Amino acid sequence: MTTPFVSAALGAPVGYDIIGSPVGRLLLTGDGHALTGLYMMDANRHPATVGPGWVRRDGAFSEAAAQLGAYFAGDLTEFDLPLAPTGSAFQLAVWEELTRIPYGKTVSYGEIAAALGKSLVASRAVGLANGRNPISIIIPCHRVIGADGTLTGYGWGLDRKEWLLRHEGALTTEPAALW
């Protein structure tokens, strides 16, 4: 099995840009070759901020911005970008499994654990890894829900998770405007 991820460029300065979206401003980060982060800046619980030493690179993320624009317009269901998330081996395995969840579908934390060959007890660890996903939306952690079908745990706010799932057709009514 091949991983959907590439290795981050070691020692490369973190470049960033900020783009608008229907779920608020998005902070994109990268190493000049791959996307290393996609964070929601206007979230209440975990607002993203620009790190010290990061370099603004206006337009450097044009392909990511174009694909995100197509996704939000309803014209793109699968991203095709080089991604270089950084995490533990278990986190990377969880995030890789997230990339296999089809657009418009949801799975439970337990189903992710089972897909990784773990017991149901690993659901909590899957939830923690899910919550540390550095490339939200593109690595679709919003598609993971509780075993009983409830929307649970989303660091950027359950309102955004609900919006994304409605936008993808995983929930049955149209997404409401958030902003």
Active site residues: 141
- The closest of 134, 128, 143 to 28, measured between CA atoms, is 134
How far is 69 from 14, CA to CA, in rounded Å? 23
Tell me the residue type at 21.
Answer: S
For 95-109, the DSSP string reads HHHHTTSPTT--EEH
Cα distance between the two ends of the chain: 41
